[in-house]
Structure 1
Amino acid sequence: MAQHHILLVTFPAQGHINPSLQFAKKLIGNGVRVTFMTAVSAFNQMNKTSVPEGLSYATFSNGYDQGFNHGTDDVKHYMVETRRCGSKTLRELIAQSISQGTRFGCIVYCTILPWVPVVAREFHIPTTFLWNQAASILNIYYHYYKGYENVIEHGINDPSFVMEFPGLPLLSRNDVPSFFVTPNPYAFALLEFNAHIQILDQETNPRVLVNTFDALEAEAMKALDKYNLVGIGPLMPSAFVDGKNPSETSFGGDLFKVKKEYKVMEWLNSKPESSVIYVSFGSLSLLAKPQMEELANGLLDTGRPFLWVIREGGVEQKEEEEGLSCQKELEKQGMIVPWCSQVEVLVHPSVGCFLTHSGWNSTFESLVFGVPMVTFPQWSDQPTTAKLVQDVWKTGERVKKNDEGIVEGCEIKRCLELVMGGGERAKETRRNAMKWKHLAREAAKENGSSDKNLKAFVDELSSY
């Protein structure tokens, strides 16, 4: 029987590339060939070490080959060009594969790329949607377009109003994705999610692959009864999850370089077990200078060692502004780096808490590695994810802003002590973290729920 060949198309951002590449590796491990397609900008930056046999790459140029500049580039134009240029290149790639006798058996497309299945249908190629956020987030967008629009708008306008969705906890204005809250420069993203829903509605009981596992979000997945949501996560390096490939300790697609001179692992090795606060706000979020100062004060006041990732360009400040006022004290108590291998840090026994922006990859990694969290959501899906961490999975504490929209240093310290201290709340948080770590590994191992779901998808390729 001929080997199955899948085209996997992903958005050119770190949070999309990591789970997509891991999904590709899992498919290859099940005997499937994969062509991985993304924008030139991301492909050129990717640290493509140890490319597995069975994986090939394809790219499209969207006019932003040097990357997207959040300070100067127009995000709407970027999305329009990504759709226009991506569609054209995808059409050409599919036509070429057909002419060469290597037609793709299926095209898997990722979040905010609803134009991919439109092109695929021109060639009568089946498609599958890979959703790389929590299933609970898709649940909210789905119901927004299925009669809950007034519920969300009422909840946004009235802070005291509580929103109720099938399969989810009660949500307030501060718990829904930021795209619903006006004014919002990224509100156009709702149009992309609406397009995803419309495309899925044209199919009968479409399967949606989700980077989660069934036990983590069972109710949220069941609530989308028109779709067949299946967890295939955690989509993370094998060495840390199922152990099938002990040498696989990275995603293999980093857009940021880890500078070895910082010797992060050696520093972590020198710290006591569960003593270190790991701080990172992901690959996109920017913090204003006053907020950075408060964060720095909060970390210093705990007296605990910390590893703080501050990306180059990760601080929103004027050119004439200097660095943090307490830089020397910070460097004495902790370590500041421009980037690091997050999965290797979170799995290290010295890490006791993750102060995170609540992006799904970061949150999911923390759950999988059993690390309690202090959540500091910024935008997009992050407020909802922070709500789930605190009130559903009960593995962390969410910070609260003051009337000026700033999270003060004393509030950051309070949350860190709640999670890392010796009180009953901290002990319960750690017990819950260990529970989800165990369940994640159960899902990922041979014949676990995610393993079975992935194999069922591969088996169905034969029917295409």
Structure 2
Amino acid sequence: MENTPPPQPSPPHFLVVTYPAQGHINPTLRLAKRLAATAAGTRVTFSTAVSAHRRMFTSSSSSFPGQHNNTPLFSYIPYSNGFDDGYDPDKHDASHYLSHITIVGANSLAAIIDDLAASGRPVTCIIYSFFMSWAAKVARDRRIPCFLFWIQPATAFAIYWHYFHDYAGIIAASAVDTSGLVTLPGLPSMRIRDLPSFIRSTGSDDNDPYSILLPQIKDMFDTLEAEIDKQPPRVLANTAAELEAAAVASVADRVEIIGVGPVLDDAAEGSLFKADDAYLEWLDSQEERSVVYVSFGSISVLKKEQVEEIMNGLKETQRPYLWVLRKDSRWKGANLEDGRKQGMVVEWCEQRRVLEHRAVGCFVTHCGWNSTVEALMCGVPTVAVPQWTDQGTNAWLMESVWGTTARVEVEEGEVVAAEELRRCVEIVMGEGKEGEEIKRKATLWMKKGREAAGEGGSSDRNLKTFVEEIAGSNFVY
């Protein structure tokens, strides 16, 4: 009797679910595309809230949009969170929003999963990102393996982990002095200012608009904690082991952080904002490594005083600059573009195209993780101007671990003065010893990051192994 070959595992179907914000959509959509390209036949469905989906695909009608830009193996299907026209802080209560989207979002996502199964495309794995723990609960109800995709640095994950496991009191006691040092297991000593901003407050201050977010973060860790009795939870992370070895090791006894990044595949179609290509023509006209690029991301709204100081600081450098400044950070009568003689101000741009441009020599950044790794992978030295959340931690990594930045010195919550901004830009753009060392390290870490994320690198191998294990149903659930 002939031996029958064992059946080959079916290609997996990943449902990638993300919060409807630009900084969340970018890395998760990039991961989704990497998953789709990792193994032949892999199916991926990408899902964000209806409000963001409509902005990604502006041709969508005002009614509930269906699938758009789909291929046989890659689909976009939005879930409804009950705020299909988007969240407006001037109209909606934040606490109600967060509780409501959990209930409505879970019901909508469950219906999507059921519809996919009914159509012969059952989901075999769910990957969810920040503030989406309710998606994990939906997955468990249907006994579908699910994994958190951590879109901040592994260092921030490690800090939060220790904070929620016996170190909250130590951090709170040290928080009165932002220059004080805190030492957490397996991590180098860090100043209070280097920790995520959410754990530097009590979380109960009615005047703190972000205090309600710490419970949301704790819920992510509680969700992971529920898995530990079965097996150490695995967390996919938008980083590489080579970039954050200490952080990965510091929690390895309880959580396996799997570096699958930095993921930087082109995800322009995921943009919630529209860019004008005029800035690319302007960049083409500038000399090599001469331009100061400035962007504080898609969320931060700058005070008028801060905008004025940045404007003055950029003018004082006498260097050409490209500044991404949201409309709601401008004020009537402001002369920001200086007639384009020195600089250009735009509302949005495709950041990776800018960072890869030969004319860009420095990136003044708020230190969001997406911007941090994009600068790293493009070899662009930075001026770090962290604002909140994980940005202080990212600035610490750039300054103390990689050595790729000049960090502004300013009291927490204070405006960065024009002279301080000019000083840091001159360090990075100048020809002094400190600036040359920053440029050298930017090139060095770019090579390390690209090797890790490239074909055969540690992150590439990790992702391929993960997909193979999902396809082979090797995860016990």
Is contact 2:81–2:108 with CA below 8 Å preserved after alignment?
no
For 1:354, what is the secondary structure of its paired residue?
A: strand
2:103 is the alignment partner of 1:94: no
For 1:19, what is the secondary structure of its paired residue?
A: helix
For 2:182, what is the secondary structure of its paired residue?
A: coil
Is contact 2:301–2:326 with CA below 8 Å preserved after alignment?
no
CA deviation after TM superposition for structure 1 residue 53, in Å: 4.7
| Within-5 A mapping of 1:406-421 | 406-421=415-430
Question: CA-to-partner distance for each residue in 1:168-227, whole Å, 9 max, x for gaps?
Answer: 332222211111233432122221222222221222122111001110001101111211
1:254 to 1:404, Cα distance in 2 relative to 1, 3 A: closer
Is contact 1:23–1:235 with CA below 8 Å preserved after alignment?
yes
| Within-5 A mapping of 1:222-371 | 222-225=249-252, 226-237=254-265, 249-260=266-277, 263-315=278-330, 322-324=332-334, 326-327=335-336, 329=338, 331-371=340-380
1:323 to 1:80, Cα distance in 2 relative to 1, 3 A: farther
Is contact 2:405–2:438 with CA below 8 Å preserved after alignment?
yes
Which whole-Å CA distance do the structure 2 matches of 1:384 and 1:309 have between them?
23
1:403 to 1:162, Cα distance in 2 relative to 1, 3 A: closer
Which whole-Å CA distance do the structure 1 matches of 2:360 and 2:90 have between them?
33
Structure 2: gaps (5+ residues): 1-7, 59-67
| Within-5 A mapping of 1:1-12 | 1=8, 2-12=10-20
Partner residue, 2:55? 45
1:343 to 1:222, Cα distance in 2 relative to 1, 3 A: same
2:183 is the alignment partner of 1:164: yes
For 1:35, what is the secondary structure of its paired residue?
A: strand
For 1:390, what is the secondary structure of its paired residue?
A: helix
CA deviation after TM superposition for structure 1 residue 313, in Å: 1.8
Partner residue, 1:240? none
Which whole-Å CA distance do the structure 1 matches of 2:112 and 2:337 have between them?
53
- What amino acid is the match of 2:134? W
Which whole-Å CA distance do the structure 1 matches of 2:69 and 2:294 have between them?
29
1:357 to 1:33, Cα distance in 2 relative to 1, 3 A: same
2:31 is the alignment partner of 1:23: yes
Partner residue, 2:75? 56
Is contact 1:6–1:106 with CA below 8 Å preserved after alignment?
yes
Which whole-Å CA distance do the structure 2 matches of 1:328 and 1:452 have between them?
46
Per mean C-alpha deviation after superposition, the further-off stretch among 338-347 and 197-206 is: 197-206
Per mean C-alpha deviation after superposition, the further-off stretch among 291-300 and 250-259 is: 250-259
Partner residue, 2:21? 13
Which whole-Å CA distance do the structure 2 matches of 1:412 and 1:436 have between them?
24
TM-score by length of 2: 0.89
1:25 to 1:96, Cα distance in 2 relative to 1, 3 A: same
1:389 to 370, 385, 398: 398
TM-score by length of 1: 0.92
Partner residue, 1:196? 220
CA deviation after TM superposition for structure 1 residue 288, in Å: 0.3
Per mean C-alpha deviation after superposition, the further-off stretch among 93-102 and 56-65 is: 93-102
CA deviation after TM superposition for structure 1 residue 160, in Å: 4.7
Is contact 1:166–1:220 with CA below 8 Å preserved after alignment?
no
Which whole-Å CA distance do the structure 2 matches of 1:417 and 1:72 have between them?
43
Per mean C-alpha deviation after superposition, the further-off stretch among 168-177 and 377-386 is: 168-177
Partner residue, 2:210? 186
Backbone CA RMSD of aligned residues: 1.8
Partner residue, 1:242? none
| Within-5 A mapping of 1:60-139 | 60-139=79-158
Which whole-Å CA distance do the structure 1 matches of 2:158 and 2:362 have between them?
29
Is contact 2:363–2:381 with CA below 8 Å preserved after alignment?
yes
Per mean C-alpha deviation after superposition, the further-off stretch among 5-14 and 306-315 is: 306-315
Is contact 1:236–1:251 with CA below 8 Å preserved after alignment?
no
- What amino acid is the match of 1:221? V
1:424 to 425, 433, 438: 433
CA deviation after TM superposition for structure 1 residue 91, in Å: 1.7
CA deviation after TM superposition for structure 1 residue 39, in Å: 0.4
CA deviation after TM superposition for structure 1 residue 461, in Å: 0.7
Which whole-Å CA distance do the structure 1 matches of 2:293 and 2:178 have between them?
32
- What amino acid is the match of 1:7? L
1:308 to 1:52, Cα distance in 2 relative to 1, 3 A: farther
Which whole-Å CA distance do the structure 1 matches of 2:367 and 2:339 have between them?
23
Which whole-Å CA distance do the structure 1 matches of 2:87 and 2:318 have between them?
38
Partner residue, 1:221? 248
Which whole-Å CA distance do the structure 2 matches of 1:460 and 1:403 have between them?
45
Q: In percent, how many aligned pairs have the same letter?
A: 42
Which whole-Å CA distance do the structure 2 matches of 1:133 and 1:159 have between them?
22
Per mean C-alpha deviation after superposition, the further-off stretch among 120-129 and 291-300 is: 120-129
Which whole-Å CA distance do the structure 1 matches of 2:412 and 2:25 have between them?
37
Per mean C-alpha deviation after superposition, the further-off stretch among 423-432 and 67-76 is: 67-76
Partner residue, 2:62? none
Which whole-Å CA distance do the structure 1 matches of 2:190 and 2:404 have between them?
18
Structure 1: gaps (5+ residues): 238-248, 316-320
Which whole-Å CA distance do the structure 2 matches of 1:69 and 1:202 have between them?
33
Partner residue, 1:145? 164
Which whole-Å CA distance do the structure 1 matches of 2:353 and 2:454 have between them?
20
Which whole-Å CA distance do the structure 2 matches of 1:171 and 1:277 have between them?
29
For 1:378, what is the secondary structure of its paired residue?
A: coil
Is contact 2:240–2:452 with CA below 8 Å preserved after alignment?
yes
Partner residue, 2:444? 435
Which whole-Å CA distance do the structure 2 matches of 1:250 and 1:330 have between them?
32
1:445 to 1:159, Cα distance in 2 relative to 1, 3 A: closer
- What amino acid is the match of 2:109? L
1:217 to 1:402, Cα distance in 2 relative to 1, 3 A: closer
Is contact 1:355–1:373 with CA below 8 Å preserved after alignment?
yes
- What amino acid is the match of 2:21? A
